[in-house]
Structure 1
Amino acid sequence: MSLPIDDNGHANNIVLGSPVLEDGRYTVPFTVPDKLKPFFRSEEFWFECPDAGEVPESIAVVPAVANLLPFAWVFGCELRVRAIDKSFYDAVPEIRRGYDDMVVDLSLSGTFSADEIIDNSYSNEGGSPLSLFSGGVDAWCTLARHSSEKPHLVTVWGADVDCGNESGWKVVDEHSSSVAMDYGLDYSYVRSNFRDMIAYRALDTSSLMVACDYRWWYNLQHGIAIIGLAAPLAYACKAPRIYIASSNTEMDKPYVCASDPTIDNRFAVAGCRAFHDGYELTRQGKVDAIVRYARGSACKVSLRVCYHVQSGRNCCRCEKCARTILEILAGGGSPGDYGFDYKPWQFDILMWRMEHVFRLVYPEFYYDIAAAVKKRGITLPRSAHWVLSDDLASICDNGFKRGWGSFHDFGAGLYHGARDLIAGRAH
């Protein structure tokens, strides 16, 4: 695999080689300036999408470009590629404007250039949209809202479950596949090292990121990265749209997030555009929509929301699981019908930890839960009555919980730092 020669002789270029397809895997070699080398575990980007088959070079390189563009913008580099799709190339300045408006504490520079710009546009009449599907609340809400369009579900291996975690992925893959089968939908997966190649610990603790208090994955990478991974399949299927479910809502502003309508809706490739879905809904509103959808469906709705996702299952012990369980109860549903398997005593312990140990960093979610419970006359188990407390703000965040959270983060930092060190030596 050869890289294009940097004929400018500059040491500030990110240079991508041509994608090579071998045994179903596209590999894109790249080089980065010395100042960026500590932030990468590998200088090879790869992805697999069996259902996309072989696609033009100008399409196959889009996932790699999408993941490396934020590095060029943030660190003032030129990202260079041999060939690129015209629709994507034309969209990059629009995506960049979305970033400019979002990450206001960073001064973005850097450029993107291609030796050849190729028009891969197609007529998308009658094609099914792709719907990025993690199995969580956001993704299920988008599926419920667009079920009449018969979306083609796409799950990314390497986003939550590590690209090398075969056992965890098996659970996730079976879950997404069963959802598609139950609802008569097509399903595909994309596997990539797009997260594994980045040394997030070194990046997030760099002086530039610390100064603005940003985290690379959430604040700068994930939206464009995940949509970009779906681009080759969108081209192969002649999809008109790629749905990506919203994480935030318009009521949450201001915030800094790499997935937002002002960024995602500007993404285009060949004859396809991305659409950031469900932005007008609160998380409780999304759960309400899912519960309503489930009542009108003969098929089961099984959510996969857990922070501890390397197992591919809901642990029913973390804040994310607990929050979703409460939202389902507030929506009039039974959590056991939505993929949460726990005993009553386990629920009571979880609620105690929520009330006394976990820092609930999104208090607005719990205010919405409390409002829904009160409005609908829902009876919560006694151990969950803290949600209805007049002092909910101090339950969500207090000195003890912040101290515990700092201790936990310190331990997690040591773990991930050691992991990055081991990975760096391996490479």
Structure 2
Amino acid sequence: MSSIVIDHVQADGTTLEADVRTSGDLERFFTTESFRTEYDVPIADVPEGVLAIPVLAQVCPVAWANGADVYVDEVDATFAAALRDVEASLREMHDFLEGGTLYAKETIAADPRAGGESGLLFTGGVDSTCSYVRHREEAPTLVSIRGWTITPDAADDEKWDALRERVTGFADEHGLETAFVESNMLSFLDHPMLLAHYKRYVDGAWYSSVGHGLGLLGLCAPMAYARGMEDLYVAATHWEGIDLEWGSRPDIDDHVRWAGTQCHHDGYELTRQERVDAIADYVREEEPNLQLQTCNDRMDGNCGECEKCYRTAVGLRLSGLEPTDHGYPFDDEDYREIRTALEEGRWVLGQDEKYMWEDIRERTRETDPSSPAEAAFFAWLDEVDLDELVSESEPPLSHRLLRAGARNAPASVYNAVYPAWATAKSGLRRVRRGR
């Protein structure tokens, strides 16, 4: 029987560690690393059932994909119920998930730590900034996580330092607290092997399409318990009417909960352009110099040249703001560059990016262009087949065949050829949107 066993969940000061054992058929999906997460508050007094949540949030989707059972000594009763609800939502979304059962020696009803606080997963991008604007009267703690788009590798130290500095600066300017969480949740899982097995079923990568709503929120549980957070918000990426296989949606995130804390998928009723509108209203009313950070290539500012920078700049213009005032170098000549890059397939686009450009297109149809260059771009966008732009951005056949080979290789063979796979898969890397 396929199984995953959580061993030795321990809290030492601000550090959480857990060992994981698996049945032989699941070994390929895990590396030799123990699961580790570092918080910036002491967690030694957090109940063990809550301490188990971060690792359970990472391994349960892997178990459900393989019909495996998960074993743990102790789990918070509220979170155990949440896992059943999240599993049901994910299985409804993904046909390849088989499900599984969580077995705990003890299920505890942990006493919540009253505090009345709230938290918000925050990067400074459009989505999380809109959520801040919507909930600013709560003065939410800004929570930033290292382990997904910013890896724990030393090579990403500068990116993490830049994010910390930017979020801390935003918090200081707005009278807010911060919480920084660092985890090896994706290097403890063998993400390339998960991608090799399940990319054929999903648009994007394993974590973005399956695991990240439950995974990121669950990672925060010990910190949220220690801080007395009653509400924890994660900003929506998509919106009503978009039916994509995406790992963070209301029917996932709104189910995530544990003793004293309820999680919320925030802003789903707003399209991305409407979120930019909300930010624009806030800029005009309260903060004219607000800076956004959405770049796919940098964390210390916006490059102004990647797809996401250009898309955000156009959105800002459509909301009546000047992009250069909010972190995006942009002028009318850039409209031709955007068109050329899209037509030539320079950017790897998924269905989610297609929907975002469709959202922009709808707004351009209601907007009078301010220049001939803008008018020409609006006219082109009105006619272009966005589905063709997405299909032309598919990874080459050689990469898809390589994934198929990795899927079918025995674990011992896979481990021997992993360096070659890692090199090849770097060409597949899709940097997902920041929160």
TM-score of Structure 1 vs Structure 2, range by shorter chain = 0.7 to 0.9
Deviation at 1:365, TM superposition (A): 2.3
Q: Does 1:223 align with 2:201?
A: no
Q: Does 1:154 align with 2:143?
A: yes
- Matching residue's letter, 1:267: V
1:7 aligned partner: none
Alpha-carbon distance between aligned partners in 2 of 1:150 and 1:238, rounded to the nearest angstrom: 14
Unaligned runs of at least 5 residues, structure 2: 404-416, 424-435
1:4 aligned partner: none
Alpha-carbon distance between aligned partners in 2 of 1:30 and 1:236, rounded to the nearest angstrom: 24
Alpha-carbon distance between aligned partners in 1 of 2:374 and 2:346, rounded to the nearest angstrom: 15
Aligned residues: 403
Q: Does 1:79 align with 2:70?
A: yes
Aligned to 2:186, what secondary structure does the other structure show?
coil
Aligned counterparts, 1:16-165, within 5 A = 16-22=6-12, 24-54=14-44, 55-103=46-94, 105-122=95-112, 124=114, 127-164=116-153, 165=156
**TM superposition score normalised by structure 2:** 0.84
Deviation at 1:402, TM superposition (A): 4.4
Aligned counterparts, 1:296-375, within 5 A = 296-298=285-287, 300-309=289-298, 311-341=299-329, 349-358=337-346, 361=350, 362-375=353-366
2:267 aligned partner: 278
Q: Does 1:295 align with 2:284?
A: yes
Moved more, 299-308 or 91-100: 299-308
2:176 aligned partner: 185
Aligned to 1:141, what secondary structure does the other structure show?
helix
Deviation at 1:95, TM superposition (A): 1.6
Deviation at 1:173, TM superposition (A): 0.6
Alpha-carbon distance between aligned partners in 2 of 1:272 and 1:224, rounded to the nearest angstrom: 14
Change (3 A) 1:179 1:121: same
Q: For residues 317-341 of structure 1, what are the alpha-carbon distances to aligned partners after superposition, in whole Å with 9 as ceiling and x for unaligned? A: 2211111111111111111222224
Change (3 A) 1:205 1:380: farther
Alpha-carbon distance between aligned partners in 2 of 1:383 and 1:169, rounded to the nearest angstrom: 36
Contact 2:181–2:220 at 8 Å: present in 1 too? yes
Alpha-carbon distance between aligned partners in 1 of 2:203 and 2:345, rounded to the nearest angstrom: 24
Deviation at 1:370, TM superposition (A): 3.2
Q: For residues 273-296 of structure 1, what are the alpha-carbon distances to aligned partners after superposition, in whole Å with 9 as ceiling and x for unaligned? A: 101110111111111111111222
Over aligned residues, Cα RMSD in angstroms? Answer: 2.9
Aligned counterparts, 1:167-186, within 5 A = 167-186=158-177
- Matching residue's letter, 2:323: P
Alpha-carbon distance between aligned partners in 2 of 1:163 and 1:409, rounded to the nearest angstrom: 29
**TM superposition score normalised by structure 1:** 0.85
Moved more, 340-349 or 63-72: 340-349
Percent identity over the alignment is 27
Contact 1:352–1:383 at 8 Å: present in 2 too? no
Aligned to 1:251, what secondary structure does the other structure show?
coil
Deviation at 1:26, TM superposition (A): 1.3
